[in-house]
Structure 1
Amino acid sequence: MTASNDNPTRDDLAAEYFDLLAFDPYPVQEEALLAHFAGDPDRGDQGVLVCAPTGTGKTLIAEAAVYEALRTGKQMYYTTPLIALTDQKLDELRQSAVRWGFPADSVGLVTGNRSVNADAPVLVVVAEILLNRLLNPDAFDFSNVTSVVMDEFHSFNDRERGVVWELTLGLLPAHVRTMLLSATVGNALEFTSWLARAHNRKLQLVVGTERKVPLSYSWIDDEILPDFAERISAGDEQMRQTPALMFCFSRAQCWTTAELLKGKSVIDKERQKTIVDYLADIDMSEGAGPKLKAILMRGVGVHHAGVLPRYRRVVEDLFCKKLLAFCVCTETLAAGINLPARSVVLPSLLKGPRDKKKLCEIASAQQIFGRAGRPQFDDQGYVFALAHEDDVKLNKWREKYDSIPEDTKDPGLMKARKQLKKKMPKRRSGETYWTQGQFEQLQTAESANLESRGRLPWRLLAYLFGRDANVQPIRDMVGRRLLPPKGIEEAQRDLNRMLITFWTAGYIELEPKPRAAAAKKGPPKKGEFSEKKEGTGGLFGDILDQMKTDEEPEKEESEADENSDPDLIQSRGYEVDDYRPENATPTESLSRLVHLRSIHPLLGVYIADQLAAADPNERIAVLESVLQVPGSVARYCRMPSLDDMPAGDLATMRLDPQLLQLGLATSEELGAKSGEEDEVKDRGFGRVMFEEPRVWPLTIGEKVLRMFQHEFPRVHDVSITPVWIVGELAEFGFDFNKYVTARKLQKEEGILFRHCLRMIMLLDEMANIPPLESTVETWEDPLDELADKLTAACRKVDPQSTEETLADPEVQDGEELIEKGRRN
């Protein structure tokens, strides 16, 4: 390089990067690259928003920011919404760095699960990590950061985690350029205007509508899935339309579909032999391994959350080597790792339970479609949607029936037509079907608008008040959200609800104090406050409100002492519409909330205080219950009955008496036997005339939740899923394979494995918030012992994933301040 290039201008960087490209960029790439390099923060240009369909080469655009940081000796962040996507981007960016002449370790990774070379100038991170660092300016210096890339930026619309992207954009220093990469969005111009207005961040908008590899859409209504799969797999490398991603909308359907394909010829003998040789060196003898191995050797892979991570890595590697014809997967893969495919196949367009099926969401469908077509291999991508098998049979019947002229005089044809009519297939009662029109609707539907979703996280508020008691910056933040005026008003009321909940629970002191509501509705419980035109809410809220109305007529309130009598304030709800607190001063207990990442912080602290009185089984059961487990798995991992595992000390000595006294549970719900017969029979005929509905006893987790909801009736974003996974694993001596095999849960072992890893992290967090009535020996030691046993069990199952999950120093040091999305 010439001397002038030792301190390159942005024009120099642009010229160098264009020279490094192996192929000429196509229009949207060129426009975005020029916008990135031409922009100057000193002139108010702070980045670019690129909106283009999946498959338009946005990675090439993002790598320009990576090259700039490496070339100038600066730092940059590359954020993604999913851990699986960060792993892939780490590998891709390292390969690019080496190709440009930089060392591979100049690119590192930090996620909520693991850390790789965390001091590297270029860091691939999940979105939460970047926000964490922006919230810790004393620990993380951004003065040398040149840019931030936010991949899959349409995650801004995610109801649970979208606020992470929103807050990050508001906190980025002005000199940091942003590159937002998104699928097409409906209100891109409005979004950039809002960003400039609300956060003084001016981005140039680049919109692309054409893919480098165009898509061909086909509706298949004359072939059932196995025959169709065999057809598109036939021929040589040029003729066949595989490898293909086959998307199913449930994990169970993935296995069923893969089994259908296993008996078909979808790969040639040469590739099959290569697969056999590849798998010979891999241990797949446990859990779902033998079943998956048999499917893989026929050229079909299965990829979803129920598959162990180490088996998913095998599927990914074989697919990328073009050895598999099909990878049967769930829709999460479309938003995560990139498995290059020539085709995408949808055996169904509907998702949801059997009796509540609905059409796939537009955004999800379009992202799935975009996975077809590989720029380096294909000149066209193929998207196939198959009709329901019943409709295929009906169409084939109609073709035969219509081939016989209606006015034929041939006796043989007349007889054949009559026989065909008798054998006409019919759609099944109660079955839901999809149509070609719906498939076309998904192709052409307008993209969704970006808007602010979800409330500010409770833990984030606790952290912010721990640093600064001033409420106004947070209120200003809420006022700048991308919402209509009524949405902003509701968001401000919601902030007041959260503040008053913190106050009544003793975590902060508010100045001025909340005003008591105008109407008396009986004494509120801890954490309770009222709003105009609202009842008590929460558990049994409507019933209790009605009881109060019937039993206690409202009394006139004296406004003179409304805000002066502490007892009065504690005995009423509080106004939220016009309340404007100035300061939220933290109490000593506020810091307990910040330690909790895996659980709603208010629920976590409440649980910790309850578990001081729990026995070991109760402790495990309650903690497991707060870790969300899909219902399709939870129903196979239910809590033991009271006969098999009697109620422990926490239930019998504390919760049961409280629930009964407060009227929050019946004696039958607490395990008492009903004094009446379940059935009342007609004495003369022995017929069942009446049957009492069966009352299922509450689990220990459900009892804790009822008490929590009574104490905090305005906290609605909590839930309990009673399961007995870690508890039963302990009964099997922490032998994971023995447990899943005995319980026939091999097809869901990935979910169970992840549950155990999450339990380990939750145990570590809970150890940091000991109840007052406990000691290290009674609180921390049992939690640590259980965590150690679980860790050993997980290492035996998948050592790589276990180490990656538990070794991240940023998690261990408790720097992650946002509750991570738990559904990916």
Structure 2
Amino acid sequence: MTSDSAEVPSVDRGDLVSLCLDQIPFDPYPVQEEALLSWFSDSEGILLCAPTGTGKTLIAEAAMFEALHTGKVAYYTTPLIALSEQKFDELQEAAVRWGFSPDSVGLITGNRRVNPDAPIRVVVAEILLNRLLTQSEFDFDQVSSVVMDEFHSFNDPERGVVWELSLALLPQHVRLMLLSATVGNAVEFLMWLRKEHNRKVQLIQSSDRKVPLSFHWVGDALLSEQLEQMQDGTDVTKRTPALVFCFNRQECWTIAETLKGKSLLASGQQKQLAARLDEWDWKVGAGPKLKQLLMRGVGVHHAGMLPKYRRRVEKLFQEKLLSVCLCTETLAAGINLPARSVVLTSLLKGPPGKKKVVDASSAHQIFGRAGRPQFDDAGYVFAMAHEDDVKIARWKAQYDQIPEDTKDPNLIRMKKKLKKKMPTRRKNEQYWNEDQFQSVIAAPPANLSSRGDLPWRLLGYLLKISPEVSRIRKFAHKRLLPPKEKEKVDARLTQLLFTLYSGDFIDLEPEPPEHVKRVFRDWPIPDESIEVSDGSESAAEDDGFGAGLLDDEEPAVADDVNDDQSPEAEVEESEDESESEASVGTFGALLQEALSSNSESDGGSKEAVPKVVHPSQADERKDYLPVTATPTDRIDLLISFRGCHPLYGTFLLDHLGIADTAERIQILESLLEVPGSVVPLVRVPPPSELPPGPLARFRLDRELISRGLVTQSDLDPDSAEPELDNFGREIRKYALPLGDKLRRLFDSDYPGIQDLRTRAVWVVGDLLHDGGDFHKYVTSRDLTKQEGVISRHLLRMILLCQEFKQTCPVGADQEEWEAELDSISERLTETCREVDPESTDKALESMNDLPDVVQENPA
């Protein structure tokens, strides 16, 4: 049977479950068998809660298996692009195993589209939500099921609402398969799902692992010694391969270096490894250093590496050619690297001095990586004590060997000598202990709960469907919230609407309180005597740093982004708002009702809905509740932004028009998050090196000072007396960079925005100024071990340029604006292709669709 068959024969579900079980090459675990039988017998679906490592993917494949055999469509959703791509590869292999073409499985993320019309569609969660919001464009009649993998992402403060809304909007005929690690309130969650969204999903729950875990506190050995010890023994008795989890990227490299000279490879393994490594080029960037480590059987895997290096490490580890892989906790979030053991180098995570014990959910995800079902009888989790505590424990063991009442003068002298050399803990260091480790192990699983506000773009889109606030308020009250949080629902929603009103995205009825004002947007454009960049050179002096960034070069093709750590907010949208006839959940019904009522009413006039103002406090309006929030023309602008915070994106369009090229690059770069550990290496140069452009000189500096948001010393630290610390040393101050200036102005206009993150850096401008040579750039700035961060930053900048290109800023010429952003994109694309052509080309696949970035073409 193939996917090209003209007709798909009707298959009885009883026969299907037998077919499905027959194609599994091993006996399913009890929880797997129970879940499979329930899936094929239950009419609405299942919630499977089981620990990491219990084979939940096998259950998910059953839903895909059923869809292919019945000629239906099924969606497989995950929270991460990297995880979606991995599941795409796995399901293509499974489809071939089942007798279907690999093209029967498609992938749709914000970055890539492969076989988008295939019956099996692997997508990031936001893609599914967008399609549910535009069901007139994306037919769900033929969709039989939706798998939501890593469903505990429902708890994510920023993105959990995407899962929540998807549950509400799915047509009732679509069956659900929710796959999650164990959760503390599974029964409560299902009761909520039934009550609020009329979904009767069956719970399959297990706390057992086929491969049991054993936990070990290591308080008397250093990590290098422990790993060497774990490598000793036969294939059965040794404790490798091992994943060693670190909570920062630099630590991965540092620890890997300490393993020099350690025996971590079996006999003959190094010869195999050397032959495999010779298949790849390791000449530039982190390649030479990584190759040296790999030759010793040690891998490094984190987001600061180039994707091509991460892929190689994954392959070598899966081929059992590596004994140890130093990695960050992102590897625990679904990426499949099978290991016998996991080792935690610390129990604390966070910035220096403010570290906290890792939360139980994250720790249990890490624990779950230990123990390979097809290879191991047990998985092993080791937690290492701080090296200071190891030294203290060793000293104490040696000291205690000499009796306190000894009469031997030599022993007495030795004991005194030892006491003088007694190691101690450092005052400025944070430590952890075995009791904390045991507490994390014993901690109950987290409860599922609604978190975070409605995303701004989604809120704008819902208001376009219907301006009646009661519909959104009704959904907000149906959320899975503790009682105290439910009491704040109305106030928080009203505050969100006040913010949209301030930005002139909506009109409120009744009129909002007097303190809610429109943000000033009528900024004057500098007169003709002010030199403003035409997109080819800086408005600063011709020889200033940043001048001539964009010289004429051969054009390259635009690129896209492939970023696992970014929130995949590339939500597909359609402008068609006609009603879908499909049956939907509770909130979906409200939306569909709103769609039809729009054609029967005036869309929220005073006569349509009564005002809601508390009668006893009507004058003060302390209990103000908006009735309608009617979108203005600017709402489409808000909805169009997906690669950055939409409110901030629209705010920037009021200012980018008078900026020169260097300023525009600084502004766009500030939207792309860079890890704090990298920031000191990519600071924006001082004004003496990168002179302020017209936006700073003629608008921002004056406005910020007039509002009292900055001082002159913030803008020019050299103009003020130096500040001294407690030791009389001069405190180094940096001039406030342009990105931070704009952020201060935005925060003044839109106070209380909690979901915006910006960080002023100078990567793209610096790279282009130096001619675009990536390896020269990262080497000269000590960024070799973070080259993956820089590469991803460039790819995201390309996407951002293409997104901003669609809307001309106030005061700019559309053609010049587009030409400037295209020039930046083309040069960065050329640079990225030279660094990692495979990853860049993958990211480029969807760039041709960017002119229609706010809408996916369903054709």
TM normalised by structure 1 equals 0.88
Say whether the 8 Å CA contact 1:527–1:712 is kept in structure 2: no
Match of 2:708 among 658, 663, 685: 663
Bigger mean CA offset, 703-712 vs 282-291: 703-712
Match of 2:429 among 431, 437, 441: 431
In structure 2, the partner of 1:187 is: 185
* CA-CA distance at 1:574 after TM superposition: 11
In structure 2, the partner of 1:631 is: 676
In structure 1, the partner of 2:650 is: 605
* CA-CA distance at 1:225 after TM superposition: 1.1
Say whether the 8 Å CA contact 1:350–1:357 is kept in structure 2: yes
* CA-CA distance at 1:774 after TM superposition: 2.1
In structure 2, the partner of 1:20 is: 23
In structure 2, the partner of 1:718 is: 756
Say whether the 8 Å CA contact 2:460–2:638 is kept in structure 1: yes
* CA-CA distance at 1:89 after TM superposition: 1.0
* CA-CA distance at 1:576 after TM superposition: 7.8
Name the CA distance, whole Å, in 2 between partners of 1:804 and 1:604: 26
Name the CA distance, whole Å, in 2 between partners of 1:694 and 1:272: 49
Name the CA distance, whole Å, in 1 between partners of 2:221 and 2:102: 48
Name the CA distance, whole Å, in 2 between partners of 1:416 and 1:92: 63
In structure 1, the partner of 2:390 is: 392
Say whether the 8 Å CA contact 1:221–1:387 is kept in structure 2: yes
Bigger mean CA offset, 442-451 vs 11-20: 11-20
1:399-548 correspondence to structure 2 within 5 Å: 399-516=397-514, 524=517, 526=519
Matched, 1:219 2:217: yes
In structure 1, the partner of 2:545 is: none
- Helix, strand or coil at the partner of 2:123: strand
In structure 2, the partner of 1:246 is: 244
Match of 1:71 among 46, 66, 69: 69
- Helix, strand or coil at the partner of 1:6: coil
Name the CA distance, whole Å, in 2 between partners of 1:606 and 1:218: 53
In structure 2, the partner of 1:110 is: 108
In structure 2, the partner of 1:7 is: 10
Distance 1:809 1:766, change over 3 A: closer
Name the CA distance, whole Å, in 2 between partners of 1:206 and 1:688: 61
In structure 2, the partner of 1:32 is: 35
1:200-239 correspondence to structure 2 within 5 Å: 200-239=198-237
Match of 1:324 among 312, 322, 325: 322
In structure 1, the partner of 2:257 is: 259
1:609-631 deviation line (CA, Å, top 9, x unaligned) = 20100011000001111211111
* CA-CA distance at 1:601 after TM superposition: 0.8
Name the CA distance, whole Å, in 2 between partners of 1:524 and 1:138: 37
Match of 1:801 among 831, 839, 856: 839
Match of 1:653 among 686, 692, 698: 698
In structure 2, the partner of 1:551 is: none
Say whether the 8 Å CA contact 2:8–2:71 is kept in structure 1: no
Say whether the 8 Å CA contact 2:192–2:480 is kept in structure 1: yes
Matched, 1:776 2:829: no
Name the CA distance, whole Å, in 2 between partners of 1:392 and 1:355: 21
In structure 2, the partner of 1:741 is: 779
Say whether the 8 Å CA contact 1:153–1:182 is kept in structure 2: yes
Distance 1:810 1:593, change over 3 A: farther
Question: Relative contact order (alpha carbons < 8 A, sep ≥ 6): 1 or 2 greater?
Answer: 2
Name the CA distance, whole Å, in 1 between partners of 2:369 and 2:220: 24
Say whether the 8 Å CA contact 2:8–2:69 is kept in structure 1: no
Name the CA distance, whole Å, in 2 between partners of 1:692 and 1:666: 19
- Helix, strand or coil at the partner of 1:580: coil
Say whether the 8 Å CA contact 1:111–1:129 is kept in structure 2: yes
Say whether the 8 Å CA contact 1:613–1:649 is kept in structure 2: yes
Bigger mean CA offset, 48-57 vs 491-500: 491-500
Instruction: Give percent identity, aligned residues only.
Output: 55
In structure 1, the partner of 2:641 is: 596
2:659 partner amino acid:
A
> Considering only aligned residues, what root-mean-square deviation do their CA atoms show, in Å?
2.5
1:601 partner amino acid:
P
Distance 1:812 1:574, change over 3 A: farther
* CA-CA distance at 1:714 after TM superposition: 3.6
Say whether the 8 Å CA contact 2:717–2:733 is kept in structure 1: no
Aligned residues: 755
Name the CA distance, whole Å, in 2 between partners of 1:317 and 1:677: 57
- Helix, strand or coil at the partner of 1:197: helix
* CA-CA distance at 1:86 after TM superposition: 1.3
- Long gaps (5+) in structure 2: 2-6, 522-617
In structure 2, the partner of 1:582 is: 627
In structure 2, the partner of 1:141 is: 139
* CA-CA distance at 1:69 after TM superposition: 0.5
1:79-127 deviation line (CA, Å, top 9, x unaligned) = 1111111121112212222122112221111112212211111111111
Distance 1:497 1:30, change over 3 A: same
Match of 1:759 among 790, 793, 797: 797
* CA-CA distance at 1:710 after TM superposition: 2.0
Name the CA distance, whole Å, in 2 between partners of 1:316 and 1:600: 33
1:668 partner amino acid:
S
1:510-533 deviation line (CA, Å, top 9, x unaligned) = 23332446xxxxx956289xxxxx
Say whether the 8 Å CA contact 1:679–1:688 is kept in structure 2: no
Say whether the 8 Å CA contact 1:128–1:816 is kept in structure 2: no
* CA-CA distance at 1:466 after TM superposition: 2.8
1:194-227 deviation line (CA, Å, top 9, x unaligned) = 1111111111111101100111111112211111
Name the CA distance, whole Å, in 1 between partners of 2:659 and 2:186: 53
Name the CA distance, whole Å, in 2 between partners of 1:268 and 1:217: 25
Name the CA distance, whole Å, in 2 between partners of 1:574 and 1:434: 56
Bigger mean CA offset, 46-55 vs 10-19: 10-19
Say whether the 8 Å CA contact 2:503–2:518 is kept in structure 1: no
Name the CA distance, whole Å, in 1 between partners of 2:393 and 2:820: 64
In structure 2, the partner of 1:702 is: 740
* CA-CA distance at 1:577 after TM superposition: 5.9
* CA-CA distance at 1:145 after TM superposition: 0.7
- Helix, strand or coil at the partner of 1:34: helix
1:595-652 deviation line (CA, Å, top 9, x unaligned) = 2111111111111220100011000001111211111111210001011111111111
Distance 1:816 1:165, change over 3 A: farther
In structure 2, the partner of 1:562 is: none
2:635 partner amino acid:
L
- Helix, strand or coil at the partner of 1:146: strand
TM normalised by structure 2 equals 0.84
Bigger mean CA offset, 612-621 vs 490-499: 490-499
Bigger mean CA offset, 616-625 vs 485-494: 485-494
Say whether the 8 Å CA contact 1:596–1:765 is kept in structure 2: yes
Distance 1:428 1:119, change over 3 A: same
Name the CA distance, whole Å, in 2 between partners of 1:120 and 1:652: 54
Say whether the 8 Å CA contact 1:267–1:298 is kept in structure 2: yes
In structure 1, the partner of 2:283 is: 285
Name the CA distance, whole Å, in 1 between partners of 2:80 and 2:848: 17
Bigger mean CA offset, 177-186 vs 130-139: 130-139
Say whether the 8 Å CA contact 2:684–2:762 is kept in structure 1: yes
Name the CA distance, whole Å, in 1 between partners of 2:191 and 2:787: 47
1:340 partner amino acid:
P
Say whether the 8 Å CA contact 2:53–2:369 is kept in structure 1: yes
Match of 1:313 among 311, 314, 317: 311
1:371 partner amino acid:
R
In structure 2, the partner of 1:786 is: 824
- Helix, strand or coil at the partner of 1:124: strand
Say whether the 8 Å CA contact 2:504–2:518 is kept in structure 1: no
Say whether the 8 Å CA contact 1:497–1:576 is kept in structure 2: no
Distance 1:624 1:101, change over 3 A: same
1:291-316 deviation line (CA, Å, top 9, x unaligned) = 11111111011000101001000000
